[in-house]
Amino acid sequence: MEDELKNIDRFEAYLNGELSKEERELFNEETSKDPDFKEEFETYKNAITAIRILNRNVLRKDIEKIASEIDEVGERDKPFKIGSYLKYAAILIGVALIPLYFVFRNNATKTDVFADNFSPYQMISTERGEEQDSILNLAVVAYNKQNFDEASSFFKNVYEKNETEETQFYLSISLLGNKQYEEAIIQLKKLCENKLGLYYEQSLWYLSLAYIATEDFAKAETLLKQIVENNSYSYEKAQKILKEL
Amino acid sequence: MKIYYSNIEILDLIKSSDRDKNNKALKYIYRSYFADVLKVIRKFGGNKEIVNEVFQDSLIILYENIKTNKFKEESSLKTYLLSVAKYNYLSKLREKRKYQFGDFGELLPDDERYIEEMQDTREKNIEDAIELLFTEIGDQCKQLLKFFYYEKMPHKDIVKKLNFSSIQTAKTRKAQCMKKLIEIVNTKPGLKKHLMEIRETA
């Protein structure tokens, strides 16, 4: 009994990543050599899955009840609106802030909007190829260090050999980071042609920033409105920029 | 019902162990964001029936991630919920069309696995068998295992919630409950096989 309870503690520690490197190695060795221990561990994981499913089903029933309550009063399909008194308050505050807006607007140029909003899209992994020094890895390392000059030339090299959307996307971001806006626009426009593409929404956002950087505000505004309307990637930032432009 | 809750207020309501407060937050999220999810899924050609399913599954993921502190306060609830819903919907499409897709910036590490698992659970309809399983271990064990394994509640909070005399007592009781549950699962080979399959496909 004592041993079985102890095993449960070990399983828990293993799954929570609380074992030391040595303890972890020992655990792995035991699961590969001792079928009973392995079986016990598997059943432990099954039990955790059962706990999750049970509680998730309780929650699902609560949510279904909520959905039917909302359906009864017909609230659900309408976007939630703030009360009209809040709307009026917002208008009043907005009016009061107008003079301040002009003070700040005079101090900032529209292209500052690019600098304020551009941040490189997160790279998912740092190791892509088997060879640590492959060009792709060099590109990834340069990108993660925000050395966009190197990153753009490495990504360009990789893209020329293997035209994947992912490389094209990170090439575009690197070009933007390296202030090669026109080239970035060419790549991003291609990415935006495929609405089901992996990076479609993200590309719309970066393309709008590229237009801002090149002071093509009309095109930027069209894209930003599209982003807001569809709740696309970075729509909250797009909303903010639209107010600033 | 309150007309407006900030993100932080919603997180507090969900983190509470009071089920009424949890449901208040869920209702607010439902009322506020269902239309947005509907709009996004329709853009991809989804019908209302599938939106209901996608929204509810996504709400469960959001709830679980708030409960277990994976969801951080600096993120927007709405943006995150929309990302999960979109991923969820596209993964349903993928099953049908081998749809190709990759990165969803807002998703948290376990989300993809949970979404797959949830779809699998629906298909296998094993809810009843699992419910039965937990009636056999008793209410205290059921609560204790829920708090610890589902909500990731720290032992010190479990001690207060279930009136244990110490953290050690709570830990020992938890291990005993788990052992009991494992023993019962072992007596049900059909269920055991299903659980294993769910884990493997997720």
Question: How confident is the model over A40-75, as pLDDT tens digits?
Answer: 999 999 999 999 989 998 999 999 999 988 876 655
Q: Is there a contact between B175 and A42 if contact means CB atoms under 8 Å apart?
A: no
Report which residue type is found at B56: Q
**Tokens describing residue B110:** 């376990």
Residue appearing with tokens 């008793």: B138
Please give the share of chain A, as a percent, with pLDDT higher than 90.
31
Chain A: give the shortest CA distance to residue B176, in Å: 7
Residue A78 pLDDT > 50: no
Q: Is there a contact between B150 and A236 if contact means CB atoms under 8 Å apart?
A: no
pLDDT, average across residues A13-37: 91
The pLDDT tens digits for A162-197 are: 888 888 999 999 999 988 899 999 999 999 988 777
pLDDT, average across residues A102-119: 63
Q: Is there a contact between A43 and B192 if contact means CB atoms under 8 Å apart?
A: yes
Would you place residue A127 in the very low, low, confident or very high pLDDT band (cuts 50, 70, 90)? very low
> Nearest to residue A222, comparing CAs of A199, A238, A240, A201?
A238
DSSP secondary structure letter of residue A222:
H
Model pLDDT, residue B29? 94
Residue B54 pLDDT > 60: yes
pLDDT, average across residues B96-119: 61
Helices A2-15 & A21-33 angle (0-180, nearest 10): 120
Q: From chain A, pick out residues whose CB is under 8 angstroms from the CB of B97.
A: none
Q: Is there a contact between A66 and B172 if contact means CB atoms under 8 Å apart?
A: no
Which residue, among B90, B195, B201, would best test binding to A if mutated, counting the most A CBs under 10 Å from its CB?
Answer: B195
Please give the share of chain B, as a percent, with pLDDT higher than 70.
83
pLDDT, average across residues B51-59: 92
Report which residue type is found at B122: R
Residue A233 pLDDT > 90: no
A8 backbone φψ class: left, alpha, beta (φ>0; ψ -120 to 50): alpha
| Per-range mean pLDDT, top range of B10-19, B102-111, B117-126 | B10-19
Would you place residue A91 in the very low, low, confident or very high pLDDT band (cuts 50, 70, 90)? very low
Arithmetic mean of pLDDT over chain A: 79
DSSP secondary structure letter of residue A7:
H
Angle formed at CA A181 by CA A178 and CA A184, multiple of 5 degrees: 90
Q: Is there a contact between B52 and A66 if contact means CB atoms under 8 Å apart?
A: no
Q: Which of A167-171, B40-44, B97-101, B188-192 has the lowest mean pLDDT?
A: B97-101
Residue A131 to residue A150: CA distance in whole angstroms: 19
Residue B132 pLDDT > 80: yes
Q: What is the full DSSP assignment across A99-143? A: HHHHHHHHHS-TTHHHHHH--PPPPS-S--SSSTTSHHHHHHHHH
- Decide if B178 contacts B166 (C-beta within 8 A): no
pLDDT, average across residues B108-127: 65
Residue A205 to residue A209: CA distance in whole angstroms: 6
Q: Is there a contact between A76 and B64 if contact means CB atoms under 8 Å apart?
A: no
3-class SS string, chain B: CCCCCCHHHHHHHHHCCCHHHHHHHHHHHHHHHHHHHHHHHHHCCCCHHHHHHHHHHHHHHHHHHHHCCCCCCCCCHHHHHHHHHHHHHHHHHHHHHCCCCCCCCCCCCCHHHHHHHHHHHHHHCCHHHHHHHHHCCCHHHHHHHHHHHHCCCCHHHHHHHCCCCCHHHHHHHHHHHHHHHHHHHHCCHHHHHHHHHHHHHC
- Decide if A184 contacts A206 (C-beta within 8 A): yes
The minimal CB distance from B43 to the residues A76, A230, A235 is found for A230
What's CA A87's distance to the chain center, in Å? Answer: 31
Would you place residue B196 in the very low, low, confident or very high pLDDT band (cuts 50, 70, 90)? confident
Q: Which of A124-128, A237-241, B85-89 has the lowest mean pLDDT?
A: A124-128
Residue B197 pLDDT > 60: yes
Residue A154 pLDDT > 90: no
A67 backbone φψ class: left, alpha, beta (φ>0; ψ -120 to 50): alpha
| Confidence (pTM) | 0.57
Chain A: give the shortest CA distance to residue B143, in Å: 10
What is the ipTM, given to two decimal places? 0.83
Q: Is there a contact between A5 and B176 if contact means CB atoms under 8 Å apart?
A: yes
Q: Is there a contact between B30 and A70 if contact means CB atoms under 8 Å apart?
A: yes
- The helix (H) or strand (E) run that includes residue A240 is helix A235-244
- Decide if A181 contacts A200 (C-beta within 8 A): no
Residue A137 pLDDT > 90: no
- Decide if A43 contacts B184 (C-beta within 8 A): no
Secondary structure of residue A80 in the 3-state scheme: coil
Model pLDDT, residue B97? 55
Model pLDDT, residue A99? 47
The pLDDT tens digits for A199-223 are: 888 899 999 999 998 888 889 999 9
Would you place residue B122 in the very low, low, confident or very high pLDDT band (cuts 50, 70, 90)? low
Q: From chain B, pick out residues whose CB is under 8 angstroms from the CB of A52.
A: 117, 149-150
Would you place residue B198 in the very low, low, confident or very high pLDDT band (cuts 50, 70, 90)? confident
Chain A: give the shortest CA distance to residue B89, in Å: 13
Would you place residue B109 in the very low, low, confident or very high pLDDT band (cuts 50, 70, 90)? low
pLDDT, average across residues B24-41: 91
- Decide if B113 contacts B199 (C-beta within 8 A): no
The pLDDT tens digits for B142-184 are: 999 999 999 999 999 999 999 999 999 999 999 999 999 999 9
Q: From chain B, pick out residues whose CB is under 8 angstroms from the CB of A54.
A: 127, 130-131, 133-134, 142, 146
pLDDT, average across residues A227-241: 86
Report which residue type is found at A38: K
Q: Which residues of B64-102 are buried (b: 16+ CB within 10 A; e: fewer)?
A: bbbbeeebeeeeebbbbbbbbbbbbbbbbbeeeeeeeee
Model pLDDT, residue B160? 93
